[in-house]
Amino acid sequence: MSSRFNVLLLGAGPINFGSTEGPWNHSKRLEQKLGERLNVVGLIDLNTERANNVLTIKRADANVKTGYEHTKVFTSIKEAGENLKGIDTPHLAVLGFQANCRGSTKPGHDNELELIQYFPKIGLFIEKPISDVEDFSDVEAVGKKLKENGNVTSVGYMLRYLKGMSNCYKKRLIDENNLTVMHTQASYLFAYDFAAKDFYGYWSKSREPGPIVTQATHICDLTRFFTPPIILDSVHTNTVEHTDKAGELSIFQFNEKGLVKPEDRIPRVTSATWRYESGATGSLVHAVCLHEGDYDCELLIVADGWKFRLVDPYGISPKLYVRKPGDLEEVRTIFTNDDCYYSEIEAMIDVIDGKSDKSVILSPYEDSIKTYEFTWAIRLAGEKNYNARGGINGEQ
């Protein structure tokens, strides 16, 4: 297709326009995929000054300015819906607002439903987590409506698109060797100084739904990608909390005591175990513990005779270590130039363009609901155990 591809962006922040603190930058991947076809018809943000500032930067770049020459700034979906019609009707919306704006049927928290009210056939690329509500029936109602309406959906679980996952790990090694997963072990270690200054919401469970639901969700989702369904009732979680001696952070620069109520403070360590319907077991450790850098992530999967270990999936060169029958050592494969953020955008656009079947989208909304419920099961089990040992007022 040579015609323009209309995009509506929700949010003028780092999710859509990038920052020095992470690889998220959906506008960059849209530019790479669509080139001169890109036509950002609208940018929605309550902070119109911020929105106009990012557009000024884009329009000053000769390589991408054609995609933003006619972009209109709006402060609401309603305003965009009333103004973007005819040739300006968006083909795709990228939902980059906070999680409390989406994944619900309640007004003000129903971005998806409001968008399809004005643009019935629009494709929706939705950032994770898909919501922040504990009422899973409400989230499921959104998914049901999107499915009934026939909207193309994709949720930002980009790690599913890693070459080490799709090409080697799942299709060739696990599927072709007819392997049955016995156990999964995921770890997500976070450098807390990285979030000490600018990520106020990260430290408060009343502002964001906590580090498992918002952060470890990626590694939890990747675990689900390779395994049978998880038995949610089997999830057992222990935590190290701010009230525990082991939970004291030596270089903590964020004013947690002054800004976050004790009951809203996040766990320092979350350690969870569970069973799969196949009888296999799984585990997760998420820890706010590192001083330098940002993330340290690994996923281990074991099967009869086999060991798979994915290291640094967020990095520019993820590594896959495989030990198979007949080998005494792991064999390492490094995947360079593997931009999974681009791959997820590419898949979405190809489906909307009619070039690919929906099956190329590896994280549709209805499947992402299961990851959402899984991460909440981990969080709630941890809170239950913490309260059982006295909570913020108990002896630790």
Report whether pLDDT(2) > 80: no
pLDDT at position 166 is: 66
Give the model's pLDDT for residue 352: 98
Percent of the chain with pLDDT over 90: 86
* pLDDT over 70 percentage in the chain: 95
pLDDT for residue 395: 57
Q: Please say if the pLDDT value at position 147 is more than 50.
A: yes
pLDDT reported for residue 328: 97
Q: Is the pLDDT of residue 289 over 70?
A: yes
Asked which of 74-78, 138-142, 257-261 is least confident by mean pLDDT, the reply is 257-261
* Per-residue pLDDT tens digits for 294-353: 889 999 999 999 999 999 998 888 999 999 999 999 999 999 888 999 999 999 999 999
pLDDT of residue 220: 98
Q: Which whole number is the average pLDDT over 7-26?
A: 90
Q: What is the DSSP string of 181-246?
A: EEEEEEEEEEEGGGGTTT-GGGGBTTTS--HHHHTTHHHHHHHHHTSSPEEEEEEEEEEE-TTSGG
Question: Which pLDDT value is given to residue 247?
Answer: 97
Tokens describing residue 203: 């430290």
Q: Both tokens of residue 9?
A: 């962006």
The pTM is what? 0.95
Instruction: Give the residue-averaged pLDDT of 61-89.
Output: 98
272 confidence band (pLDDT: 50, 70, 90): very high
Mean pLDDT computed over every residue of the chain: 94
User: What was the pLDDT predicted at 270?
Assistant: 99
pLDDT of 24 higher than 80: yes
Considering the domain 161-338+368-391 in this protein, what is its CATH number?
A: 3.30.360.10
Counting Cα atoms < 13 Å in the Cβ hemisphere of 113 gives 18
pLDDT of residue 124: 99
Q: Which residues lie below 8 Å from residue 282, measured CB to CB, with a gap of 6+?
A: 183, 184, 185, 186, 223, 227, 230, 273, 274, 275, 276
Q: Name which residue leads in pLDDT, 114 or 392.
A: 114
Side-chain half-sphere CA neighbours of 149 within 13 A = 23
Domain spanning 5-151: which CATH class is it, in words? Answer: alpha beta
For position 236, what pLDDT does the model report? 99
Domain range annotation of the chain: 5-151, 161-338+368-391
| pLDDT of 97 over the 60 cut | yes
Kind of pairing, strands 38-44 and 331-334?
Answer: unpaired
Mean pLDDT within 211-235: 96
Q: What is the pLDDT of residue 248?
A: 95
